[in-house]
Amino acid sequence: MDTLQNMRVFVRVVEAGSFTGAAQHLNTTTAYASRAVSDLEAHLRTRLLNRTTRRIALTEAGERYLQRCEQILAYVDEAEAEAGHAQAQPAGKLKIHAMTSFGQHYVVPAVGAYQQVYPDVNVELTLAQRMPDLLDEGYDVALVLATDLPDSGFVSQRIASAFSIACASPAYLERRGVPKTPSDLANHTCLQLVTPVFPTSQWQFSGPKGEETVNLGTATFQVNVAEAMAVAVREGMGVGLLPIYSAIGGLRSGELVWILPEYKSQEMNVYAMYPSRQYLDAKIRTWVELLRERLPVTFANDQTELRKFART
């Protein structure tokens, strides 16, 4: 028995004053309206309406039940309207997860731009060096950096692509010399940025000779956040691979030098992942759309500025 639907029929019968009038309003039959109320009474084990051949009248129990039905149906209608509105107009809380340094440099400014357009959305951003569980942790969107994604059953959209560059401090290069090829790094102190998407014992380069792999061996220093790695490199501790967004400030100030400028390393795609494409909430849809418009342009601008700092 569809109790909620039978409650709607009951309320309509009372409003119309007859089963026939209710049936006409609901575009159904008089028999259906009568049976719905009878099923409701059987379920409640209470008579709601006194019936004669000419009229109906509420019982005392029916009057009390009518008030509750009207309240419940009003709540249901409000909930349905609110849920439907979520697919049309961005509002409410948007829960986002992103990698720490990437989130600081790109996601936070994007959130600011998003809320300028959609001020009714409250954003809860978590930055952490791990892959979240979207369902268990309740995230609406996770921004993931990876070469590709395993089949998870979630929806993923490729937003942009990024890469890292080899950097060192001027003082370090003065002491140890400037590597000219990836293989020269075997004679240098290489610092390891350890994240869920970077291998810990190898650096992958793509350049004039195609793909090249550098085996690092035991690292003298490891850290899991790109900003901390940038500090270590600026301090002259060794050569590090840095995402462009973590390197660009040091390149501008002269505290970092871009070495091996003909080579890219650790090329990654940026994916937006969310649980389902069906009945997609408007705040998720508009957030992903903003990222697709904004991030490729931002990355391209960073790469244009990066060319100023090439050192051969």
Domain end among 42, 62, 86: 86
Q: List 270's β-bridge partners, or say none.
A: 145, 160
**Helical (H) or strand (E) element with 170:** helix 170-176
Structure tokens at 238: 């060794």
Q: Check whether residue 17 and residue 142 sit in a common domain.
A: no
Tell me which of 26, 57, 86 is where a domain ends: 86
Residue 88 in tokens: 């049309």
Instruction: Give the list of residues 6+ apart from residue 234 with CB closer than 8 angstroms, or none.
Output: 169, 250, 255, 256
Domain count, the chain: 2
Are residues 80 and 101 located together in one domain of the fold? Answer: no
Residues 135 and 181 both lie in one domain:
yes
**Environment class of 165 (CB within 10 Å of its CB; exposed 0-12, middle 13-18, buried 19+):** buried
For residues 182 and 268, state if they share a domain. yes
pLDDT at res. 295? 93
By residue range, what is the domain housing residue 124? Answer: 95-312
| pLDDT at 282 (0 to 100) | 87
Examine the domain organization and report whether 100 and 75 are in the same domain: no
Question: For the CA atoms of the chain, what is the radius of gyration?
Answer: 31
| Integer angstrom CA distances of residue 180 from 46, 113, 306 | 90, 41, 18
pLDDT tens-place values along the chain, 312 residues long:
688 888 888 888 888 888 888 888 888 898 998 898 899 888 888 888 888 767 888 888 888 888 888 888 888 877 776 666 545 578 888 999 998 889 999 999 999 999 999 998 999 999 988 877 777 788 899 998 887 766 667 788 899 988 899 999 999 999 999 999 998 988 899 999 887 666 567 888 888 888 888 887 777 888 888 889 999 999 999 999 999 989 999 999 999 999 999 988 888 899 998 887 565 788 888 999 999 999 999 999 998 898 888 764
Both 19 and 139 in one domain: the answer is: no
Residue-wise burial string across 174-187, b where 16 or more C-beta atoms lie within 10 A, e elsewhere:
eeeeebeebeebee
Domain endpoint, select from 28, 63, 86: 86
Q: CA 241 to CA 225: how far, in whole Å? A: 12
How far is the C-alpha of 38 from the C-alpha of 207, rounded, in Å? 79
Cα separation, 129 vs 100, whole angstroms: 6
pTM value?
Answer: 0.68
* DSSP one-letter code for 200: S
* CATH number, domain containing residue 130: 3.40.190.290
pLDDT reported for residue 84 = 61
Token pair in block for residue 271: 């994916």
